[in-house]
Amino acid sequence: MNSILPIILPLALRSLLLQKLQKSILLLINDLLKDGKTNQGLNALVQTINLSLQVIPIQLVKPGNRIKYVSAIAPKLSKSLGIPITALAYEIKTRIANLDKNPNQCNYHLPLERVWENFTVNVNESGWIYLQLNEVGTAFWVQQLLDSVTESDCPTLAQDHTSDDSSFGNFTNSFIIQYTHARCCSLLYLAHQEGFVALKNESIDFGATAPQITTPNPFPWLDIEHRLRLHHPAEQRLITQCVTTLDCLADMVLADRVIDAINPNVNLNDVSLSHPNLNQQMICKLAQELSLAFQTFYATCRIWGETSRVNLELTQARLGLVALTQMLLRVLLQEGLEVIAPCSL
């Protein structure tokens, strides 16, 4: 089976932000060393930050209607660097901004750099650093994630699994996850039949292969004012859960190598969800949470009927979310839980 995990891991947003924070902190420490502002343990701190991103705390802010991360790295490093917390946070913020102006600190050919351009960085009075992705960046990230997976990465079920009972299950709740995946596939096939999207010829054989959408491309995520069409709380929660899913996969699979995930010269073909840092209970929990977010979205946000008649672009954007959910569930099922990801039940 062709793995799509190495293809989507470089698009984990938390990995991108960890890299930016790491480089900014190292630049700051280097400036302190040049100015002779050293204290005991500073060189050891450089080594620690160089070797491991685990020392940089950053997490996705949930719930929320935007993709926003927060890092408490300034309070953590303030004593070691001898700089007040808030002042240190602003020093880091300044160097993050300067990364974009230094070609040696930026990989402009990477799709994530386009996403990074749409992050804003702010500091609160407690010295916490907030990194928020705007709506244009969110739309680009979602589209890039969908575009990264090609038809060659979507083998038929016959290539991957037999359909006997043993394929279905190491976990009591695996069926609901498989059902959600199959539901996503059936919705995309129905959308193709209704003319809302077009599928690749190879993926029109219902139940045999995962659907691959060719039109629209890109999806109409944004309106004419460049605002995200998907502003309903259930839509926002599903997007956030997709972000969380990919971030967690990157954390579990790559661990200290997470910075390499966005280095185009690093071969990720050897990574897999059988990594020793990962257990299937964690994968199952991720899949359950994604399934639940999708079910809430589908129950709340109409795709067919009046919505498709009066606002085709919104229908297509919601179908894009369906496609994104289907792709991530397939990774979790086939590459994580090692069970079939059925296109029909």
Q: Domain extents for the chain?
A: 5-133, 138-337
Q: Choose between 82 and 257: higher pLDDT.
A: 82
234-253 b/e with 16+ CB inside 10 Å = b? Answer: bbbbbbbbbbbbbbbbbbbb
Strand partners, 119: 133
Candidate ranges 7-16, 71-80, 293-302; pick with highest mean pLDDT: 293-302
Confidence band for 32, pLDDT divided at 50, 70 and 90? confident
Average model confidence (pLDDT) across the chain: 82
Task: Identify each DSSP E strand in the chain by its residue range.
Answer: 59-60, 67-71, 119-123, 129-133, 198-199, 213-215
C-alpha closest to that of 189 among 168, 216, 210, 163: 210
Alpha-carbon Rg for the chain in angstroms: 21
Helix axes 174-194, 312-330, angle to 10 degrees: 140
Is the bond into 216 cis (omega within 30 degrees of 0)? yes
Task: Tell me the percentage of the chain whose pLDDT exceeds 70.
Answer: 73
Residue 137 burial (CB count, 10 A): 19
- Tens of pLDDT, residue by residue over 287-297, are 999 999 999 99
> What residues contact 44, with CB distance under 8 A and at least 6 apart?
none
The confidence band for 272, taking pLDDT boundaries of 50, 70 and 90, is low
**pLDDT digits 0-9 by tens, 177-228:** 999 999 999 999 999 999 999 998 765 666 667 888 999 999 999 999 999 9
Give the residue carrying structure tokens 């959600």: 180
- pLDDT score of 47 more than 70: no
Q: What stretches of 255-311 show up as alpha helix (H) in DSSP?
A: 280-300, 306-310
Least confident span in 23-37, 77-91, 102-116, 262-276: 262-276
Greater pLDDT, 155 or 253: 253
Query: Mean pLDDT over residues 3-25, rounded?
Result: 89
Query: E strands within 210-267?
Result: 213-215
* Bigger pLDDT: 45 vs 95: 95
Contact 141, 133 (CB under 8 A): yes
Whether residue 53 has pLDDT greater than 50: yes
Which of 95-109, 135-149, 303-317 is predicted with the least confidence, judged by mean pLDDT? 95-109
Predicted local confidence at residue 345, as pLDDT: 78
21-41 average pLDDT score: 77
Taking 70 as the threshold, does the pLDDT of residue 333 lie above it? yes
pTM of the prediction?
0.85
In this prediction, residue 66 carries a pLDDT of 86
CATH code: domain 138-337 is 1.10.730.10
Q: Tokens for 20, please give them.
A: 């930016």
One-letter amino acid for residue 288 of the chain: Q
pLDDT of residue 146: 94
The pLDDT-based confidence of 31 (bands split at 50, 70, 90) is confident
User: What's the pLDDT at 157?
Assistant: 44
- The residue with tokens 């500073």 is 42
Q: Is the pLDDT of residue 275 over 60?
A: no
Average pLDDT of 333-344? 89
Per-residue confidence (pLDDT) for residue 237, from 0 to 100? 96
